[in-house]
Every structure is written in C-alpha cells, then in structure tokens.
Amino acid sequence: MTRARLVTLLPFAWIALFLFTPYCLLFCYSFWSLDAGQQVIRHATLANYLHLATTPLYFTVILRSMRIAFSVVSLSLLIGYPLACFLVFHAGKYRRILYQAVIIPLWISYLVRAYAWKVIFGNEGVLNTLLLWCHAIPHPLGFLLYSPFAVIVTLTHIYVPFVVLPVVASLEKIPHELIESSSDLGATAWQTFTRVILPLSLPGVLSGATFAFLLSFGDFLAPLLLGGPSSVMIANIVANLFGADYNWPLGAAVAVLILVMVLVIVTITQRLERRWRSA
Amino acid sequence: MKAYAAAVYAFLYLPIVVLVVYSFNRDGVGGFPPQHWTLDWYRILFADSAMWSAVSNSAIVAFSTVVLSMLIGFPAAYALDRYSFPGKAALQRLVLLPLIVPGVITGISLLLLTVSSGFHLSLLTVIIGHSTALTAVAATEILAGLAKLDRSLEEASADLGATPIQTLTRVVLPGLRTSLLGTALLVFTLSMDEIAVTFFLIGRENTLPLEIWSRLRRGATPEMNAIATLIFLFSVITIFLSQWLMTREVSTQ
C-alpha cells in the first residue's frame, strides 16, 4: 500500500469512528431503556418512541420549534431578499465592501451576538431604559426578554447573512440581457421582478431558507439565554434529558426524531432545488 | 432602497455597537443614556485568571481542531472531487452531515461513544468533537477551492512525468494555498466560538464560550461586555487578516 493510500485512509477511519459510529450508537440507545436504578438496559424496546408518540408535550414543543424556525426564515427572507437585490442591482461601486459587511457578522461569535440582544432587551436593558428616558412608556416592557420574541429576533439577526449570500449568488447568475430584454419588451419593473428575477432566484432562496430553518429549528442556546419557559425548543428537551432530567435513551429517541426530520427536509428541498434549476 | 439597506445594516451592527459602548459604562449592563465612562471592567477582566485559562484552553482546542480538520478534510475533499469509488455519494452526505444536523445531536452522539468506550471527558474529547463537526466546513470550503482550480495544469504536470504525489504537492497544494488559509482561519474562528457540541463533551476545564456561558447563566455583568468586545475585536482582526492574505495572493499571481 502506498503512502498516498494511507493518507486517504485517515479521513475515512476518522469519519467511520467519530461520525458514523456515534450516530449508530445514538440509534441503538434510542431503543434501550433505564431500569429503576437509572442503569441503561441494553434490550431493544419501542418504549421511548411510544412515550414520544403518546405525550402531547413533545408534539407541542416540536410544533413550537417549527413555528419559531419558520418565523426566523420568513423574517430573514423579508430582511435579506431586498438587501440581496440592492447589493446586486443598486450598490454600484460600494458593492464589494457592502457585501463584505454582510459576511463580517458571520465571523463574530454567536454567543457574543446572542448576549448583545440580552443587553438590549432586558428590563434594565438599553431599549427599555431608552424608551423610559424619552417617556415613550411608563414601565419597562417585560415581554421583550425571556419570550419567543427575543429568540426569534436573535436567531433572525444571526441567520440573515445565511439567506443573503445564496440569494446574491443566484441573482448574480441572471444574465443582464434577460432583464434588459424584459424591459425592452415593455414589462414594468414590477413585472420584470415577478416574472424574471424572482423565479430565477428561487434556488438561492431555497438553499438559504433551508439552512436558516434547520439551524434555528435545532438551536438550544438562544432559548436558554433569551427565552423563557414559553420558548423551550426541541433541542432543549434533548439537552435536558442528557443533563438534569437524566434519561439518555429517551433523549436519544428525541435526537433520532430530530435527525429524521432534518434529513426529510433536506431531501425535499434538494429535490425541489434540482427541479427548479433544470426548469 | 438605500434607506432600506441602511436599516438592515443597522440591524446587523447595532447589537455589536451597544455591546462595545456598554463595556465602557460604569453603571452596568444597559441603562440609557450610558454615562460615567470607565475602564474598570477591562481591569477586572484582565485580572480574571479563570477567564484567561479558559482562553488558553480554547486556543489549544482551536489549533488542534484546525490541524485535524485540515488533515481529514483535505484528503476527503480531494477524494470526493477527483475520484469515483463505490459509496461516494453516501460518504459525501455523511461527511457534510454535521453542517445541517444540530450541534446538540453531534455532541450527544460523541458523548455516547466516549462513555461507552470508557473514556473520560476532557479537552481531548472536545477536540475530537470540534474536528468531527468542523471537518464538514473544511471539506465544503476545500471542495469549492478545488472546483476553481485549473485542471489543465494538473494534466500538464502528469504529461510531463510528475507522479501523482508530485502533482499534488507542486501544483494542487500551491494553487489551493489561499483557499486552505481561508479555511483554516474560518475553522479556527468557529472552533473558538463553538458551544453546542462542546456543551456535552467538556470535562473539568472550560473553553472560553463555556466559561462565558456558565457566567451568563448566573447573570450578566459588564465584564461580559468587555470580553465580548475583545472577542469582537479578535474576529475583526481575523477577517482583515484573511482579506489581506487573499488580496496579497491575487496581486502576486
């Protein structure tokens, strides 16, 4: 065996050991259970999945996570899509630097940015004290922090660049002649947008939206830091079952459920994307 | 349109500005208008030995992660880009899986492996976790870099009698230099910031984000603003460093 072959073996050994095996182990654990002494019984049972299916709490939390993720994606698109259009069609000579300015926040610590929103939204926070200072409100607004609202704003702030970048990439691919000929043939700016630009940018929208959706759906830090009890998300349940609520097999079952949902969503969007690209 | 773009940039940057401003504010987190400027929070921060040992732990983890994820990510990306072999599509999906799977899941899966094989949690398990999760990022970036390379140079190298290893070290790797440097910087930054995977794999020694995290859970203090400002500064330096490397590369070509 040559040296070159050995070098390529390292990544495959690593991936097999630290990626494939752990996922398999997770799958196994989800069929195991705990005995009265909190010891793991390695005997296959469907009890965890039955528990998930019959306890409304899990359904509620999954639904809430999807709702929060959906709000984040919608807001990110509302904010990000026009910005991408601006960058590609109107930014002129500042385009490069403005594009960089969208990327920079991606490099800045997630924790730092989430914490910044805590500073802004707190009862003694910047926003409340600012509003009190200019007598816009009589009391601090309590609903800002520790609510789904704070979680959604924070996650939107984090995922806007994830939406902007692929949309910019797909807008850049639209040939200029196409847009020019559309207006030459008498289409209004709005018609050109809805009939030419928007359809051709859909693959970028889809890939940005998928990323933002999946990452917000599986987030557990923003709800812990900024959300109250009313914004517990599904990943928090997993983290709790692997922490204070100690029940690893049940936690593994919830994790497998998340994994399956993620894979289903990715498969669907990939199919859609391929269809739109070929159309 | 311009006003709209300005508003979006304000939304993106306002939180960071707030953080920096209030790190110099004597009377704590928030409170408008900020008054009584002070450097006290930085003084407290610089005397905070637990924080600085967390910084050095994070640096150790991030350096090891960069080395490992490049060692794993480059051959994987190269094999996926240049060769066809049975199971290639499945392998590609597996390698890139941590990009879309929540960090929590990668974290607990590796926790299960660690516990099942009788090992203890330590910085080593954190390094393994980061390397596994961030190899997906490294491989994606390197795949993009490989796609941009001019294939005809490699063919010419092979035609002129170079062995595959010679072509790799003298043509492919130099051509990828910028992309590899950019990838290394990105992986370093992401590792310095990683929480979700680390959360489940951490032993007794904290990384910087986990140290900050555990203190935030006890309540926000302006010292957190100070460390956050320094982290922000560090990110900005890294970005400019990578930009500078890129432009230097372009101008030498």
* Of the candidates B90, B120, B117, B121, the residue with the CA atom closest to the CA atom of residue B197: B121
- Which is higher by pLDDT, B86 or A80? A80
Give the integer Cα–Cα distance in Å for A123 and B17: 19
Length of chain B counted residue by residue: 253
Q: Give A226: exposed, middle or buried? Use CB within 10 Å, 0-12, 13-18, 19+.
A: buried
pLDDT at A130: 80
- For residue B25, the 8-state DSSP code is B
Tell me the C-alpha to C-alpha distance, in Å, between residue A68 and each of A82, A259, B56, B98, B99: 22, 18, 36, 22, 20
**What is the predicted pLDDT for the residue at A6?**
66
How does the average pLDDT of chain A come out, rounded? 89
Which of A117-126, A227-236, B110-119: highest mean pLDDT?
B110-119
CB-based contact B106 A22, cutoff 8 Å: yes
Q: Does the structure show a pLDDT above 70 at A21?
A: yes
Residue B80's φ and ψ, nearest 5 degrees, are -70, -35
Cβ within 8 Å of B, A 146-175: 157, 160-161
Share of chain A above pLDDT 70, in %: 97
pTM of model > 0.80:
yes
Q: Decide which of B1 and A52 is more confident.
A: A52
Q: State the number of CA atoms in the 13 A half-sphere of B16 facing the CB.
A: 21
The CA distance from B159 to B104, in Å, is: 49
Q: What is the pLDDT of residue A1?
A: 46
Residue with the larger pLDDT of the pair B57 and A4: B57
> Phi/psi of residue A53, each to 5°?
-70, -25
Residue A110 has pLDDT above 90, yes or no: no
Please provide residue A162's backbone torsions phi and psi, each rounded to the nearest 5 degrees.
-65, -30
Give the separation between CA B60 and CA B62, rounded to whole angstroms. 6
pLDDT in tens, B118-157: 999 999 999 999 999 999 999 999 998 998 888 888 888 8
Angstrom distances, CA of residue A132 to CA of A76, A151, B26, B28, B78: 29, 23, 20, 17, 59
Residue from A77, A268, A279, A84 nearest A171 by CA: A84
Q: How far apart are the first and last CA of chain A?
A: 47
pLDDT value for A41: 84
> Per-residue pLDDT averaged across B206-230, rounded?
86
Size of interface A-B (CB pairs under 8 A): 224
Average pLDDT over residues A88-108: 86
What CATH fold (topology level) applies to the domain A41-278?
MetI-like fold (1.10.3720)
Rounded to 5°, the CA angle B136-A2-B88 comes to: 35
Note the pLDDT of residue A273: 85
User: Domain limits of chain B?
Assistant: 1-38, 50-252
What's the whole-number mean pLDDT along residues B164-182? 86
The predicted complex's ipTM stands at 0.89
Are A213 and A73 a contacting pair, CB within 8 Å? yes
Neighbour-count burial of A37, counting CB atoms closer than 10 A to its CB (0-12 exposed, 13-18 middle, 19+ buried): exposed
Residues of A in contact with B11 (CB under 8 A): 79, 157, 160
Q: B105, B231, B236: best mutation site toward chain A, by most A Cβ within 10 Å?
A: B105
pLDDT classification of B240: cutoffs 50, 70, 90: confident
pLDDT score, position A76: 97
Q: Per-residue pLDDT tens for B2-61?
A: 889 999 999 999 888 888 888 888 776 666 677 778 888 888 888 889 999 999 999 999
Contacts of B226 in chain A (CB under 8 A): none
Count of Cβ atoms closer than 10 Å to residue B90 Cβ: 9
Domain boundaries, chain A: 41-278
pLDDT digit string, tens, across residues B57-95: 999 999 999 999 999 999 999 988 888 888 888 888 898
Q: Model confidence at A238, in pLDDT bands (50, 70, 90)?
A: very high
Q: Is B108's CB within 8 Å of A252's CB?
A: yes
Residues 6+ apart with CB under 8 A from A6: none
Residue B115 sits at φ, ψ, to 5 deg, of -65, -45
Please list, residue by residue across A84-119, b when 16 or more beta carbons sit within 10 angstroms of its beta carbon and e when fewer do: bbbbbeebeeeeeeebebbebbbbbbbbbbbbbbbb
Say yes or no: A217 contacts chain B, CB-CB below 8 A: yes
B109: distance to nearest CA of chain A, Å?
5
Check CB contact of A12 with chain B, cutoff 8 Å.
Answer: yes
Q: In chain B, which residue's Cα lies nearest the Cα of A8? A: B75
Q: The CATH number of B50-252 is which of 1.10.3720.10, 3.40.50.2300, 3.30.930.10, 1.10.1040.10?
A: 1.10.3720.10
In chain A, residues with a C-beta closer than 8 Å to the C-beta of B112 are: 22, 25-26, 29, 248, 252
C-alpha torsion A194→A195→A200→A205, nearest 10: 20
Does A118 sit within 8 Å of B195, measured CB to CB?
Answer: no
Q: Residue A22 is nearest to which of B15, B113, B239, comparing CB atoms?
A: B113
Q: What is the CA radius of gyration of chain B?
A: 22
Q: Is the model's pLDDT at A194 over the cut of 70?
A: yes
Higher pLDDT, B27 or A251: A251
pLDDT reported for residue B178: 85
List beta partners, residue B25.
B37
How far apart, in Å, do the first and last CA atoms of chain B sit? 38
Write down how long chain A is.
279
Give pLDDT tens digits for B97-107: 999 899 999 99
Between A59 and A184, the more confident residue is A59
Q: Residue A87's pLDDT is what?
A: 94
CA angle A84-A87-A88, nearest 5°? 90
In this complex, do A117 and B192 lie within 8 Å of one another by their Cβ atoms?
no
- Cα→Cα distances A122→A127, A208, A249, Å: 8, 30, 37
Query: According to the model, what pLDDT value does residue B152 have?
Result: 85
With a cut of 80, say whether residue B221 has pLDDT above it: no
Select, from the ranges A60-74, A174-188, B178-192, the one with the highest average predicted confidence (pLDDT). Answer: A60-74
pLDDT at position A183 is 83
How confident is the model at residue B251, as a pLDDT?
Answer: 63
b/e map B203-228, b = 16+ CB within 10 Å: eebbbbbbbbbebbeeebebbbbbbb
pLDDT score of B108? 96
- Helix, strand, coil tally for chain B in percent (to 5): 80, 0, 20
Is any Cβ of chain B less than 8 angstroms from the Cβ of A93? no
Q: How far apart are CA B124 and CA B108, in angstroms?
A: 15
Least Cα distance to B23 among B230, B225, B233, B234 occurs for B225
A46, β-bridge pairs: none
Q: Which of A117-121, A132-136, A178-182, A194-198 has the lowest mean pLDDT?
A: A132-136
What lies within 8 Å, CB to CB, of A186 at 6+ separation is: none
Measured between beta carbons, which residues in chain A are less than 8 angstroms from residue B9?
98, 101
Phi then psi dihedrals of residue B232, to 5 deg: -60, -45
Distance CA B75, CA B154 (A): 17
Q: What type of residue is B206?
A: N
